[in-house]
Amino acid sequence: MSKILTINVEKCTGCRTCEIACSLKHAGEFNPARSRIHNISSPEEGFYLPVACLQCSEPFCVQICPNGAITRDEITGIVKILEKRCVGCKMCLLACPFGSITFDSKEEKAIKCDLCDGEPECVAFCATGALEFKEAEIAVKFKKRALSDRLKEIYKGISFKEDLELVR
Amino acid sequence: MGHYLIAGKILRVDLTNQKISEEPTNAYFEQFIGGRGINAKIIYDGVTPELKPLDPDNIITFGAGPLTGTEFPGSSRTDIMAKSPVTNLLGNSNVGGHWSPEVKFAGYDHIVIQGKAEKPVYISINNKNVDIRDAGNLWGKDTWETQSLIKAELGDLDTQVMCIGPAGEKLVCYATIQTCMGDAAGRTGMGAVMGSKNLKAIAVRGTGGIKIADPNKYSELCKEVYNLLKEHPSYQELSQVGATRLTDLFGKINYIPLENFQKYTWDEGKEISCEDFLKKYLYKKVGCFGCPMRCKEFYKVPDGGDVVLSCNFYSDFIWRLKNSDMKLFLEIASLCQNNGIDQISVAGIISWAIEMFEKGVITEKDTEGIPLKWGSRETIIPMLKKIINREGIGDILGQDVKTAANQIGKGADKYIMHTKGNPLYGSNIAPFRGSALATAVGSRGDLMRSIPLLELNRVLISAYGFDEATLKMYEEYYDDLAEKITGKRKAAISTEYEGKSALVGYYEDIITINDMLGNCKWISSYLDIPITPEMQANILSAGLGISIEADELFKAAKRIRCLERAFDVREGLTQFDDTLPDRLFEPLPDGKFKGERLDRSKFEKMKEEFYTLRGWDTKTGIPTGQTLEKLGLKEIAEDLSNRGILSSTKKKSKR
C-alpha cells in the first residue's frame, strides 16, 4: 500500500516551515525558492495551501521528458527526477497541470517533491498536522469524519424514529 | 566565500539623495550578533543627541537575526530601532510576520534608512535590485490595503511588506509599523519616524538562500527543539487559545488597571469571557514565519468583519476602557490596525483624557462637545479617530505626553500614566515588585524588555482553579526556579523586594538574547519553555560552523543593554527618569492586592541593586568606564568621556 502526502488546509497556518525544511534537506540551505513544496497563501482570508507534487499514477511529466529523466516507482508510487539525466529543458514544468515542478536556477535543473524517499521532511516539521503522510486508502478519511460530525450536529434533537418516518 | 546563517550585507538607503549602499555585516557580528544588537550599534553611531526624532537625519533600522528565516521555531522577528518621538530616547519595537526572513532571502541582514524623501515613496527590494518608488497613490491607504496594492503593483504576491497607516503619515506619536495580518511594531512610535521620512512602506522579495555550516546537525537540533516545545503546557495554551484566555485570568487576579490605574476591579468584567468569544468566533489560529506556536487568532465575526488579534487587545480595549461590548471592541481593534496606531498607548491616552474630563482639566469645549465616559462608544470611537487624524484635541493628544500635557496645562501631567513619556502597559505592576522595577529601568521605558514573568506566573496559577496539591506543586516549581536564577526563593513572590534586581536582570538578558538572534521570546526560557540560551548557542554553532557558548550570548546581551543605556544617558537620561508615576506608590484601592503599597525607598534600593548588577554607577545609573571596557565598548566609554558624561573616569585620570 503506497503512502501519499495529505493536506488539510483547515490546519495550515501558512508558516512556511515546510518550505525551509524541504530546501535544507534537498538544497542544503534555507531557501523557499529552491523548495519542492510551496505555500500559496491568501493571508487576507486566512487561507493557505501547501502545494507539492501529487505523484500522479500516469504522470504527464514522465511522458513529456525527452531524456527519460523522470521515473515513477511502481511500488512506492514516487515520481522522481534523476538529476544527472535532467537537461533543464523545462518541458515538465509546462506539462504539469498543477505547477508542482519548479526550476532551480542555481543548479539549472527541474526539481520536484520525491517524498524524501518515504520520510518527508516537511511532514516531520509540520506542527499543526496540516501535512501528513498516510496510506492512500485512509488518507482523506478525516474529511468523511468531518462530514459525519456536521451531520451529527444537525441530527441532534431529531429522534431516530422521526428520522425514519422522514425517509418514508 | 559566502556566510553561514547571516546574509552578510547591510543595506543603507538615504532617502534625501536617493543613495543606496551596502556594508558587510561581519564588522558588527562578533560583538553585536544581530537584530537588536546590531541595530543598537548602528543607532548609537549614527544618531547624536542634537537630532530630533522626526528630523530627516534620524535613522530607522530594521534588523533580522542570525537564526531568522531558519528552522529554529519562531525565527521570524524583525527588530526596529530609531530615536523615539515618544520618549526622545532609544526607540525600539520588535515584530513577527514574514518580513525579515524575506529580507535575508534577498541577501540582507539589516536595512538602514536615513533622510527624507521629497514626496511619499516606498522602497522595493527585490534581491539586488533596490528601487525607491512613488507612493502617491498609497498615501492615506490603510495598512492592509497598502500591502495588497504594493503586491499587485510589483506583480508578486510573495512580496512581504512593512508599512505605516494614516496615523504614521500624520506623525501621530504612537504610530506603528504594520506587516502581514495585524502584526505591529507597536511601541515607541516607529511608524511616526517612517512617516517623517515620507516613507510609506518597504517591500521585499528574495530568492537567495541562507547557508548552514552543518545542515544535518542544525536540522536534528531544531527537531529536538520542536519536540520539547510541543510537550510544554505554554505551547498547548498558546497554540490553542492564544493569549485570549490569559485575559480572563488577568481579570481574576486584578492584573488589569481600570480607570487610568485608579481601580483594579470591575463587576461587569466578571461576566465577560474572552475564551467564550474565541470559541464562538475563531475562524483559525494563525502565526508567523517558521512558527509552530500560531499564537494569533483570525476571527470572522458576523457584522464585525475579519480581524486578527493577539496579546494585549483584550485587556486594552475591554478592561482598561471598561467596555463590555465585543462589537465595539472589534471595531476599535480594527481601527488601530488599519490606521497603524499602538493600542497600548491609545488605551492609555484615552484613559488619561477621560480622567482629565472627570476631574475638569478638560471640558466639552476641548473635546468639541463629546462627553468623555468610560466604556462609551460615543467617547472611544470619536476620540480614537480624532487622534488618528490629528483633529481638534486629537492633534494635542497625538503628540508625546509631556508636550501634550504642557499644552493642556491645568495640572494635566498629574494624570498621565507613563515612564519616560511612554504610556504604561495595562498591567498592575505595583504589587509585582520585579515588574515595577522592570518598568522603571527597562530599555525603551517600558515593562516588556525585562518583565520577570516568573513572579506573575506564580500569582496567575491561583486563577486556574487547580486543587491545593497541584497549586502547591506549581508554587514550589516557581520558588525553585527563582532560587536557581537569583539564589533567593523569595524572589518568586510578587510582593517581595528581595532578589528582584537579579530576576529582572536575568529576564532582561533572555529577552535581549532572543531579540538579537531574531527569535520570538515566546519560544524560549522567557515562558519557562526549556529552550534555553545553551540550546540556542548549540544551534547557532551548528549553523555558523564555529563554537559559541551560552556565556557569550549572555555577555553579548549585557553588552547590548549597556550600549542602549549609554545611548540614553548620552541623550540626557538620569536616574530620576527611572521612576514610576506617583499613583503607583499609593496603597492599592481594591482587589486581590487591596492595601498593598509599593514602598518608595525599597523601590529605590532595588534600582540601586539593579544598577550595581549591570555595572552601572549605583547612584546615577550611568554605565561605568570599567564596565564599558570590560564589555568591549571602549569607544563608547571614550565618547561618553569626551561629552563629560563619564566624569568619574576623567576625574580619576586627572588625579
User: What's the pLDDT band for B301 if we cut at 50, 70, 90?
Assistant: confident
B139-155 average pLDDT score? 97
For the domain covering B240-423, report its CATH number: 1.10.569.10
Cβ contacts of B230 within 8 Å, gap of 6 or more: A127, B292
B419-442 average pLDDT score? 96
Residue B70 confidence (pLDDT)? 97
* 8 Å CB contact of A44 and B211: no
Q: Chain B: residue nearest A105 by CA?
A: B207
Q: Chain B: residue nearest A127 by CA?
A: B292
Q: What is the average pLDDT value for chain B, to the nearest integer?
A: 94
State which of A127-141, B271-285, B477-491 shows the largest mean pLDDT: B477-491
Instruction: Give all domains of chain A, ordered by start, each with its CATH number.
Output: 3-139 (3.30.70.20)
- pLDDT of B56 higher than 90: yes
Distance in Å, alpha carbon of B296 to nearest chain A alpha carbon:
10
- pLDDT of B152 higher than 80: yes
Q: How many residues does chain B have?
A: 655
Q: Dig out the grid coordinates for B144 from the structure.
A: 492592509
Residue B107 confidence (pLDDT)? 97
This model of the complex carries an ipTM of 0.92
- pLDDT of B654 higher than 60: no
Q: Does A9 touch chain B (CB under 8 A)?
A: no
Residue B599 confidence (pLDDT)? 98
CB-CB: which of A27, A43, A125 is closest to B226? A125
* 8 Å CB contact of A25 and B223: no
B496 CB-contact burial (10 Å; exposed 0-12 / middle 13-18 / buried 19+): middle
User: What's the pLDDT band for B280 if we cut at 50, 70, 90?
Assistant: confident
B198-204 average pLDDT score? 98
Residue B274 confidence (pLDDT)? 87
Query: Using CA atoms, how far apart are residues A99 and A76, in angstroms rounded to an integer?
Result: 22
User: What's the pLDDT band for B650 if we cut at 50, 70, 90?
Assistant: very low
- pLDDT of B652 higher than 50: no
Number of Cβ atoms within 10 Å of the Cβ of B495: 15
- pLDDT of B396 higher than 90: yes
For chain B, what are the domain ranges? Answer: 9-205, 240-423, 433-517+549-613
Residue B233 confidence (pLDDT)? 86
Distance in Å, alpha carbon of B404 to nearest chain A alpha carbon:
37
User: What's the pLDDT band for A167 if we cut at 50, 70, 90?
Assistant: low
Query: Using CA atoms, how far apart are residues B84 and B447, in angstroms rounded to an integer?
Result: 16
- pLDDT of A110 higher than 70: yes
Each residue's pLDDT tens digit, A62-93: 999 999 999 999 999 999 999 999 999 999 99
Residue A166 confidence (pLDDT)? 60
Mutate which: B6, B149, B289, B293, vs A, most A CBs within 10 A: B289
Q: Does A43 touch chain B (CB under 8 A)?
A: yes
A52-63 average pLDDT score? 96
Any bridge partners for residue B94, and if so which?
A: B79
Each residue's pLDDT tens digit, B204-251: 999 999 999 999 999 999 999 999 999 998 888 888 888 888 888 999
Percent of chain A with pLDDT over 90: 79
- pLDDT of B343 higher than 90: yes
Closest by CA to B436, choosing from B480, B497, B482, is B497
Query: Using CA atoms, how far apart are residues B132 and B115, in angstroms rounded to an integer?
Result: 13
Residue B653 confidence (pLDDT)? 40
B457-465 average pLDDT score? 93
CB-CB: which of B105, B288, B306 is closest to A15? B288
Each residue's pLDDT tens digit, B551-560: 999 999 999 9
Q: Where are the beta strands (DSSP E) in B144-197?
A: 160-163, 177-179, 183-185
Q: Does A16 touch chain B (CB under 8 A)?
A: yes
Cβ contacts of B34 within 8 Å, gap of 6 or more: B6, B25, B63, B64, B65, B66, B68, B109, B516, B517, B518
For the domain covering B9-205, report its CATH number: 3.60.9.10
Q: Dig out the grid coordinates for B616 from the structure.
A: 552601572
User: What's the pLDDT band for A2 if we cut at 50, 70, 90?
Assistant: confident
CB B192 within 8 A of CB B113: no
